[in-house]
Structure 1
Amino acid sequence: MTYDPAAEVVQLCSDLIRLDTTNFGDESGPGERKAAEHVAALLDEVGIDVEVYESEPGRTSLVGRWGGNVGEPVLLHGHLDVVPANAADWTVDPFSGEVKDVDPGGLCVWGRGAVDMKDFDAMLLSTVRARARAGAVPERPLVLCFTADEEAGGAKGAGFLAREHRDLIDDCTVAIGEVGGFSTTVRGRRLYLIEAAEKGMAWVRLTAKGTAGHGSMRQPDNAVTKLANAVARIGAHQWPVRLTPTMEVLLASVAELAGTEATPENAESLVEEFGDASRMLGAVIRNSANPTMLEAGYKVNVVPGEATARIDGRFLPGFEDEFWDTLAALAGPDTTISKDVHMGALETGYDGDVVAAMTSSILAEDPEAIVAPYLMSGGTDAKYWDDLGMKCFGFAPLRLPEDLDFTALFHGVDERVPVDSLEFGARVFDRFLGAL
């Protein structure tokens, strides 16, 4: 039985990028309907039935089942929406799906979603379609899930499925999705990072109240001043290093290459070993709270009675209480904190047969590599699956050129993924399905 799991992956990725699924976080985007129908047709063509589900008109997700009946079902999930792109900033049309050579990166598929996450959608589809055509059905039952709205928190996609259609996925014990399995190079060795944890998300509103009045007079009870002081304290705060079990394993792997041991004291220097990837990893050894928005007043000569700020807070698994206590102390008694969005952190034990399958599938294609877990600074649909009791991992395998600043491409200008990396990912993911 022979088949090529990578045969279609580049074309599938380009085709998905050309379907504009921009999510502006409001009702103004095109939605995911066209992409969902496209994916449903691709699966139907090889005999895999799926159903589409809409939380609102155009906000479309789809779910299907495939595979055998040995063991507990595994959820394979990808989202269909992408963040906005300003075409004027790009080298190519961000929705062209163009295949173009560039240095660094080599021959790449370009476009919004190439990295986040139509690359993984394409890998999954290419592998499943090749296996279905060849009759190479995995023994383990698989739930194939493509969601809407992940880029705005997932409430209209994964959240909707978890709330309203839980029966479709409730028997899954493991979920495999995005932002993991990509390589970075440390001291000449490729190290593949499998996501096993995510920081929690706390988007909060800070409000200060004062006495409104004329801007020309003394106004000691000034809401803007109170807010500015609180925001300055929060923005300048140096959060202490905290190592979760996932990061202890990752940093131990790097420390071994560096000929030392991982400790909280040298954690930052070990993170710097990752080069450009330290942009992401430097954010996951401590809690964080970044002021991002300010709003006050309506005229320059009027002191407003209220001023507000928005804070993007992220907390480590196991350190949420410390986050809230510290934030309250920094905000002080002159401001109040309210939660706009709150999603918990997650951390999955890095063990078991699925971890073994991910590791062996990478090493079969890249025998000299190191495979280790990491904690991601952002959030994914995994938060919803974690709430349903699933073990969650990010595993979209990509062998990347050492000189490609991959983490900068997430939501970035000229987002692109190397063709060789896509094809490598499809081969690895095929081995993974066979090893489950």
Structure 2
Amino acid sequence: MAEVAELCSQLIRFDTTNHGNGDCAGERPAAELVASVLAEAGIGVKVLERAERRSNVVARVSGVDSSLPPLLVQGHLDVVPADPVQWTRDPFSGDIADGYVWGRGATDMKDFVAMVLTVLRGWAAADLRPRRDIVLAFVADEEDQGLWGAEWLVDEHPELFEGCGAAISESGGYSYHVRHASGAPVRLYPVGTAERGTSHLRITATGRAGHGSRRNDDNAVVKLIDALGRLASHAWPVRLTPTVTAFLQRTGAALGVEVDLSDVDATVARLGAAASLVENTVRNSTRPTVLTAGYKVNVIPSTAVGEVDTRTLPGTEAELLATVDSLLGPGVTREVVARSPAVQAPVDSPWFDAMAAAIQSQDPQAVVVPYCMGGGTDAKAFARLDIPSYGFAPLWLPEGFDYRAMAHGVDERVPVAGLEFGTRVLDRFLSTV
């Protein structure tokens, strides 16, 4: 299956960098390649654009049993920026070297797109069809707000996704090497069944402008710093969701460690390397990320502004915002500048069971567990159409490979063997689910 690596390489070589706020190199070249591969496989394609070069590819593969609800397979074609000075290789080279495909998008998420297309090519060559209809959506703008991609498609073309019973996309189904309490190796495969929500905040402090050399007890900059300090240091309480509870119980059992849901922090600590999969999703978070104040060192400004990356678990947003308001202090206000609610899909479902079976068909020792993503994906857009989404972009990864550092990181790359494994898993899942 060397073709999956080559296809991933081809996709990476298209610079589809999304700088945000509508500034994007454009997804069209990658979309044209995707559309051509689908057309060669005999699949009808629609290329839809809200703005020039911001391309979305939507297609439908007919299954054997039209009475079954279709499965949505969705992925994005844009990538985040990459500074070539920091990279070992050109981030848009798509080099295949040392057993890896290198470049921006190798794990986020042109790898998944390449694997799905390789499966479809194989079906076409063998004249095979899936059990149910499969709706494909390879979209623009996931790395910003989805306004040229999934959000726009859901608003303007919801009929394309009518009846879909579930969706799969990025951030799950990859091997994660951990150790049993006895020291024996264990391979976890976390499948995303939930995502924390977003309630990004703009914090504005106002005060009295004045000369920097003079005492000023109404300094907007000081007010802002104090308010952000309180938000950053606040100990948010544990809030267990069904996904996180299932992760703790199933992972604890697989690793032979005690699980005490009345002391979650201690339980997480006992999980060892697996702790990083859950530690950010047992509670909400408020992390300051942007500061804007002043224009001259000897002038105290009347306004100072900060932005806070705020993530919420299902059902906790109102509680979080009330607590934020109590922490800000006088002369400081907040507004929500970006909001998308948390989403969760059923853990105990035939969809999840089919994903686990597909992984175990290629790795019989796999321990498949649900997990909650700390960030977010286009699953939030499709949730507005009542489509439950799963993070399922399977990969085999070698022990010691820091996969979670690859997305948006320097020297992003994906193992060729991992792509081939993922293609086999997806073939099994998409054929039989």
1:57 aligned partner:
52
2:167 aligned partner:
175
Residues 28 and 145 of structure 1: CA distance in aligned 2, closer, same or farther (over 3 Å): same
Post-superposition offset of 1:261: 2.3
DSSP 3-state at the match of 1:140? coil
- Worse-superposed segment, 155-164 or 280-289: 280-289
Residues 414 and 323 of structure 1: CA distance in aligned 2, closer, same or farther (over 3 Å): same
Post-superposition offset of 1:269: 4.4
- Deviations 1:325-383 (Å, cap 9, x if unpaired)? 22222222321111111111011111222212111111111111111100001110000
**C-alpha distance in 1 between matches for 2:266 and 2:88:** 35
- Deviations 1:136-195 (Å, cap 9, x if unpaired)? 110201101100000002121000100111111122121111101011122111010000
- Deviations 1:67-119 (Å, cap 9, x if unpaired)? 22240111100100000000000011100111121xxxxx1111000010011
1:336 aligned partner:
333
1:110 aligned partner:
102
DSSP 3-state at the match of 1:96? coil
Give yes or no for the alignment of 1:122 onto 2:114. Answer: yes
Among 194, 198, 204, the alignment partner of 1:197 is: 194
Among 5, 18, 22, the alignment partner of 1:10 is: 5
1:259 aligned partner:
257
Residues 215 and 270 of structure 1: CA distance in aligned 2, closer, same or farther (over 3 Å): closer
Post-superposition offset of 1:274: 5.2
**C-alpha distance in 2 between matches for 1:320 and 1:201:** 9
Task: Give the letter aligned to residue 371 of structure 2.
Answer: Y
Post-superposition offset of 1:321: 2.1
Task: Give the letter aligned to residue 359 of structure 1.
Answer: A
Q: 1:352-371 residue pairs with structure 2 within 5 A?
A: 352-371=349-368
Residues 387 and 227 of structure 1: CA distance in aligned 2, closer, same or farther (over 3 Å): same
**C-alpha distance in 2 between matches for 1:262 and 1:98:** 47
Give yes or no for the alignment of 1:423 onto 2:420. Answer: yes
1:394 aligned partner:
391
Task: Give the letter aligned to residue 36 of structure 1.
Answer: A
2:144 aligned partner:
152
- Worse-superposed segment, 315-324 or 265-274: 265-274
Post-superposition offset of 1:135: 1.1
Q: 1:284-433 residue pairs with structure 2 within 5 A?
A: 284-433=281-430
**C-alpha distance in 2 between matches for 1:274 and 1:410:** 22
Gaps of 5+ in 2: 180-184
- Deviations 1:277-334 (Å, cap 9, x if unpaired)? 6445321111001001111111112111111000000011222222212222222232
1:226 aligned partner:
223
1:3 aligned partner:
none
Among 239, 246, 251, the alignment partner of 1:249 is: 246
1:85 aligned partner:
82
1:43 aligned partner:
38
DSSP 3-state at the match of 1:217? coil
Gaps of 5+ in 1: 1-5, 102-106
**C-alpha distance in 1 between matches for 2:42 and 2:420:** 24
- Worse-superposed segment, 74-83 or 353-362: 353-362
The answer to whether the 8 Å contact 1:76/1:143 transfers is yes
Give yes or no for the alignment of 1:32 onto 2:24. Answer: no
1:104 aligned partner:
none
Among 143, 150, 169, the alignment partner of 2:135 is: 143
Post-superposition offset of 1:219: 1.8
DSSP 3-state at the match of 1:150? coil
The answer to whether the 8 Å contact 1:399/1:424 transfers is yes
Residues 85 and 278 of structure 1: CA distance in aligned 2, closer, same or farther (over 3 Å): farther
The answer to whether the 8 Å contact 2:280/2:374 transfers is yes
Among 61, 68, 88, the alignment partner of 1:66 is: 61
**C-alpha distance in 2 between matches for 1:401 and 1:264:** 35
Residues 341 and 272 of structure 1: CA distance in aligned 2, closer, same or farther (over 3 Å): farther
- Deviations 1:401-431 (Å, cap 9, x if unpaired)? 1211111111100001111111000000000
Post-superposition offset of 1:273: 2.9
DSSP 3-state at the match of 1:9? helix
**C-alpha distance in 1 between matches for 2:266 and 2:58:** 41
Residues 353 and 93 of structure 1: CA distance in aligned 2, closer, same or farther (over 3 Å): same
Post-superposition offset of 1:26: 3.2
DSSP 3-state at the match of 2:243? helix
1:283 aligned partner:
280
The answer to whether the 8 Å contact 1:205/1:337 transfers is yes
DSSP 3-state at the match of 2:192? strand
- Deviations 1:178-236 (Å, cap 9, x if unpaired)? 10101112211101000000000111100011111222333211111111110111111
